[in-house]
Each structure stands twice: as structure tokens, then as C-alpha cells.
Chain A
């Protein structure tokens, strides 16, 4: 529900309640003063009757305006005052009368005197008062709705503008978020706070980006020195074999560290959405190209490769990332295969399926998508390959699924949410 709708509804409910109460009050007050007026008239009539009874004049009842009768003593002092409906004699209509009943003793005789006066004029009076009240309330409601709308247009415009600006805000933006100023203190406070928060977010993000780049640079430089110095050392004349082996070990570790650092940097870059340049990538061609360069690795393990690749399957992605995705998937299928095993690759516009023989495992293969997760704990691989694959598929909203059936591993990527053209 919109704010305007909500407040209007509440206004309406309150106004209706107020209307009911006020009308009731007005009715009560008017009715009371009308009754007082009528009572005065009745009393005038009563006084006249009393005078006539006193002077033994013959008093005639004149219904419905007054009636006089003699009553027994026990009814004395009963005084009733109420409105009553009376059928007018010789006429076919009923009329509301205000009536008062008096008891009077004159010359040892008890009289019951009923005095009535018609309320016809007073009903009209009520109408005259109630109608303008209703009219005022209706006018009030309409003007309230109009004012509300104007207020919402004027006062809330910056608010709605800022809300829309927040909706499209991205921390990767280079420019400050476009927020409208407002005359209202609260909105102005909100705007300043939002500006502060979004600026801090953007700054932090930029710093983080800068940090990952700097960290990578700073780490790679000493690593470069270690690696190149070790290579120099390897070429020293008459290197003794034991020392050579030690140098080899240090060298391998330095290389591992360097690759680890590069992969982590890559992962954070993907996470930070720094690979936003996309183009149409021909996955079929890329797959063939990568398989070609992996030919020797496949041959060394005597693997059987069965291909079912639909030509010209195109996805929209960053070409580097698409390449990395395939590299990791293919390397995995080769590395974790048995000698003489099999790789099955099926690519169509809907999905990519890579199956390979491997070891059976009770572990949940979904776990291997985590960082530093290893199927084989003794492996020297840092276990980032599948994490990288997962990160790339998530970036493009592709669905990835890893299952093991007996000793056959299946990795399936569905490109369903990505538009695929042929």
C-alpha cells in the first residue's frame, strides 16, 4: 500500500468517526434546546389551564393540544414528560407531539392535565442544522484528499526520486548517487545519511579493489624475485645433487604459492564483478580448441574421449572467463581420471555435460565447489579449480550440478537463464 493511500484511509476512518460523534452531539444539543423551547410553550398553556381551574372556570379539553380529567388521589405528583405520536383527529396523518402530564389539586378535586405541542417545526430545524454539517464534512474530506495529493507531489517527490535512485545504485558506480534535496528536515537528514553511506560503500569497494590489486602486485613481485633467483641458482656450475633437489623443492613451493595467489586474485575479481565485459563466445569452437591443446595430456593417460558437440553453441560471457571455465573442467576430468579411463563431453544449446571415470566417493561432490576443498586430502592442488568454476557459473546465472554414479563423475552446466543464440 502506498503511503498516500494508507494515510488517506486513516484520515477517512477518523473523519467518519468524528462525523458520527459530532452529528450526534449537534443533534443532542439542538434537540435539547428545541425541547426547552417547546416545554416553555407547554408551560404557558399549563399556567393558563391552572388559572382557569383555580377560578372554577369551565375548562374544556382540546385534544390533541390539551386534555383534562379528574383522577383519584393516588396518581398525584406523577409528572411525565415525553414525545409521543398522536393521530390527528379528522386527518389521516400522525404527528410527533411533545407532551407533559401534570397533576393539580383545585377545590379538593384532583385533575390530570396533559399538555401537548407539535414538534413539526423542530424536525425541519434539525435538518437545517444536520445538512450543512454533512456538507462541511464532505467538503473537508475532498479538500483533504486534494491537499494530500499536493503534499505527496511536492513533499514526497524527492523521497520517491531518492527511492528510485537507491534502487539502481550499484557500488561499482564511479559517480555519486543522484539524490534530490528536500525542504523537510527528516528527508534532508535521510538524504545526507544515504549519501554518506553510499559514498562510504563505494569508497570501501574501490579500496578493496585497489587492495586486491596491490596485494597481488606486492606478493607477485617478491615471488618473482624468489623464482628468478632460484633459476639463477640452478644454473650455477657444479651444483651438488642434494642441493639441487632442495632448490627444486623450494622452487616448486614458490610456484605453488604464486599460482595460488593468482587464482585467489581471480576469484575475488570475479566476485567483485570486475569482468563485466561480455561478448558472444562460441563455446563449441573454444571447447575443440582447448581439447586440441590438451591432446598430449589425454594421450599420456590413455584416455578415451567421446565427443558430442553441437556446432556453434554461443553463450554471452567474458571470453577469458569462459576459457577458464572450460580449462578447469577439462583439466579436472583429465587429472581425476583413471589411466585408460574415459571422458564424455556433450555440448548443446541447453547445457554442457562432462562425464569422466574416476574414483567412487561417498562424499557429497557439491562440497568440492567450496574453496580449498579437496576430494583427495593428499593432493597438492589447493582445491580452487571447482570454486572458480562455481564462481563463473554463478556470475552468469548458470546452474551447475556435480553427481557421482558408481565410478562415473558427471558435471553438468545448464545455461537456461542465459540467452543462447545459434
Chain B
């Protein structure tokens, strides 16, 4: 999997590249319009992470150019602009998804994997992690071949943990992923705790191990060891 990250903020570019490299992606970086435009013309990528505000040009122009020449490349727009127009015109011009800054790396990772699943396997590929099998098409979860009945949020939570396995997932990132705007920093995270507890119980009941570890003071981590 080859990804081109186009972002003018070097520190952010590095952080994203490091994280995605850790997920097994082959990452290339571009920090301005011309550099990005050159790389897009010369090489083929599976996915582009595109910041809209770039020195030297508008990210949306890059998007139009890419979609004309290489329509198979997936695009995730990264924007600090919180404006509806940008999101809409980005999606109109063929972007697969968008993420507003600041974002969680885990969220970025899960969005990227979702785009790749959709683009390359039409969402039909089954996900495997340890003895857990997920069918994204039917949203069914199996453990050693036995169906585990999960609520919708529990399913989304498990998918999120598996796409970000061995990573610390903060309560905030989890809440934001599951509830979006409904989550507020004023809420305590009891509901996250309750949901994680239910998920753990269901996995254990189906014969799985306690994969979901609490990371003290931070959140949770799905890990096999």
C-alpha cells in the first residue's frame, strides 16, 4: 500500500507518516503544491492524504487533476477549514472522505483502511484479527466461527480497535469516533467504560481472551499479548 501524504505543516506530516508507516503503509511525503503535483504525475499511489491549504496552490486543484488522470487513487481530504463548502466541493470532486483538523491518528488510520477496503475489495473482504473474523459487508462478527451478537456501537468499536490494534486508543478518540458531535468534553466517559466492558464480556463469552486492555490514564489498547 503506497500512500502520499500532502501536508504543509512538517511536524504534522512527520507524525502522520510515522504512524502510518507503523501500520505497514509505504509513505511518501510532499509539503507543497509543486512537490505534490510532481509526485502525483510521476508515481502511482493507492491513496492520497491531501491538505487543502497548501503553499503554492489550492489542494482542490490537485484533486481535480488527479481524478482526471488517475481516478483509481483514493483521496482523503485533511482540512482545518471547518466550512461546509470545502467539504462538499471536495467530495464533489471525487474525494472519498474528509477529516477536519485536529484529528486523532487512530481515526485517520481507520478512515484510510475503510477507503482501501471499499476501493480494493468493494467492502467484501473479511477482516481477521487473532481468532476474530469481521464481515464488513454484513457487519457480522465471528469468533472461532461462532457468531457474536454485538450492538451497532459495539461492532463499530471492535472494528475501530482492530484497525488500530496494538495502539493506545484514547477515550476521547473512541467517543468522537462513535458519537461524533454528540460527544462533549464535559461528559464523563462512563458510557465508554460501559461499552468496553460489554464488548470484553461478549468476546470472552464467545471464547476469546481479554484482548482489550485498559491503559491507565489514557484509554484502551487491543493487543494479543
Binding site for B on A (CB under 8 A): 213, 216-217, 220-221, 223-229, 231-232, 234-235, 241, 244-249, 251-252, 254-256, 258-259, 262, 265-266, 274-275, 277, 290, 293-294, 296-297, 300, 320, 323-324, 327, 330-331, 335, 379-381, 385
Contact pick for B187, options A254, A290, A335, CB 8 Å: A335
B80 contacts which chain A residues (CB < 8 A)?
Answer: 216-217, 220-221, 224
Contact pick for B170, options A225, A251, A265, CB 8 Å: A251
Contact pick for B12, options A213, A216, A221, A293, CB 8 Å: A221
A265 near B84: Cβ-Cβ < 8 Å: no
B181 near A327: Cβ-Cβ < 8 Å: yes
A245 contacts which chain B residues (CB < 8 A)?
Answer: 216-218
B179 near A225: Cβ-Cβ < 8 Å: no
B190 at the interface (CB under 8 A from A): yes
B217 contacts which chain A residues (CB < 8 A)?
Answer: 241, 244-249
B104 contacts which chain A residues (CB < 8 A)?
Answer: 227-228, 231
Contact pick for A224, options B12, B153, B170, B181, CB 8 Å: B12
In the complex, how many angstroms separate the beta carbon of B60 from the nearest chain A beta carbon? 15
A247 near B179: Cβ-Cβ < 8 Å: no
A225 near B15: Cβ-Cβ < 8 Å: yes
Residue of A nearest to B85 (CB): A277
A235 near B168: Cβ-Cβ < 8 Å: yes
Question: What 3 A-B pairs have minimum CB-CB distances, sorted nearest first?
Answer: A381-B186, A245-B217, A224-B102
A107 to B168, CA, bound (A): 151
In the complex, how many angstroms separate the beta carbon of A231 from the nearest chain B beta carbon? 5
A274 to B195, CA, bound (A): 38
Q: Which of A231, A275, A330 has the most CB of B within 10 A?
A: A231
Residue of B nearest to A234 (CB): B168
Residue of B nearest to A241 (CB): B216
B102 near A248: Cβ-Cβ < 8 Å: no
B215 near A234: Cβ-Cβ < 8 Å: yes
In the complex, how many angstroms separate the beta carbon of B202 from the nearest chain A beta carbon? 15
A331 near B82: Cβ-Cβ < 8 Å: no
A256 to B185, CA, bound (A): 6
B102 near A229: Cβ-Cβ < 8 Å: no
Q: Mark B113-145, 1 if CB is under 8 A from A, else 0.
A: 000000000000000000000000000000000
B84 near A320: Cβ-Cβ < 8 Å: yes
B19 at the interface (CB under 8 A from A): yes
A400 to B88, CA, bound (A): 31
A234 near B186: Cβ-Cβ < 8 Å: no
A320 contacts which chain B residues (CB < 8 A)?
Answer: 84
In the complex, how many angstroms separate the beta carbon of A353 from the nearest chain B beta carbon? 20
B102 near A293: Cβ-Cβ < 8 Å: no
B16 at the interface (CB under 8 A from A): yes
B218 near A248: Cβ-Cβ < 8 Å: yes
A232 contacts which chain B residues (CB < 8 A)?
Answer: 15, 18-19, 105
A248 contacts which chain B residues (CB < 8 A)?
Answer: 170, 217-219
Q: With contacts A221-B101, A223-B102 known, what are 15 further pairs, Cβ within 8 A?
A: A221-B12, A225-B15, A231-B104, A231-B105, A231-B106, A232-B105, A251-B172, A256-B185, A293-B179, A327-B181, A331-B184, A335-B184, A335-B186, A380-B186, A381-B184
Q: Which of A225, A249, A262, A324 has the most CB of B within 10 A?
A: A225
A224 contacts which chain B residues (CB < 8 A)?
Answer: 9, 12, 80, 101-103
A217 near B218: Cβ-Cβ < 8 Å: no
A235 contacts which chain B residues (CB < 8 A)?
Answer: 22, 167-168
Binding site for A on B (CB under 8 A): 9, 11-12, 15-16, 18-19, 22, 53, 80-84, 101-106, 151, 153, 167-168, 170, 172-173, 178-182, 184-187, 190-191, 194-195, 215-219
Residue of B nearest to A324 (CB): B181
B215 contacts which chain A residues (CB < 8 A)?
Answer: 234, 244
A228 near B216: Cβ-Cβ < 8 Å: no
B101 contacts which chain A residues (CB < 8 A)?
Answer: 220-221, 223-224
A381 near B185: Cβ-Cβ < 8 Å: yes
A252 near B185: Cβ-Cβ < 8 Å: yes
In the complex, how many angstroms separate the beta carbon of B103 from the nearest chain A beta carbon? 7
In the complex, how many angstroms separate the beta carbon of B55 from the nearest chain A beta carbon? 13
A221 to B179, CA, bound (A): 23
A300 near B184: Cβ-Cβ < 8 Å: no
A296 contacts which chain B residues (CB < 8 A)?
Answer: 151, 153, 178, 191, 195
A262 to B101, CA, bound (A): 10
* Complex A-B: 21 CB contacts under 8 Å: A216-B82, A221-B80, A223-B101, A223-B102, A224-B103, A231-B15, A231-B19, A231-B105, A232-B18, A235-B22, A245-B217, A245-B218, A246-B217, A247-B218, A290-B182, A293-B182, A294-B179, A296-B151, A296-B195, A323-B181, A324-B181
A380 contacts which chain B residues (CB < 8 A)?
Answer: 185-186
Q: Which of A249, A254, A259 has the most CB of B within 10 A?
A: A259
B82 contacts which chain A residues (CB < 8 A)?
Answer: 216, 262, 265-266
Residue of B nearest to A265 (CB): B82
Residue of B nearest to A246 (CB): B217
In the complex, how many angstroms separate the beta carbon of A92 from the nearest chain B beta carbon? 102
B195 contacts which chain A residues (CB < 8 A)?
Answer: 296
In the complex, how many angstroms separate the beta carbon of B159 from the nearest chain A beta carbon? 16
Q: Which of B19, B103, B186, B216 has the most CB of A within 10 A?
A: B186
A300 near B191: Cβ-Cβ < 8 Å: yes
Residue of A nearest to B15 (CB): A228
A76 to B104, CA, bound (A): 129
B218 contacts which chain A residues (CB < 8 A)?
Answer: 234, 244-245, 247-248, 251
A256 contacts which chain B residues (CB < 8 A)?
Answer: 185
A224 to B10, CA, bound (A): 12
A223 to B173, CA, bound (A): 15
Residue of A nearest to B191 (CB): A300
Residue of B nearest to A274 (CB): B83
Residue of B nearest to A332 (CB): B184
A238 to B91, CA, bound (A): 41
Residue of B nearest to A217 (CB): B80
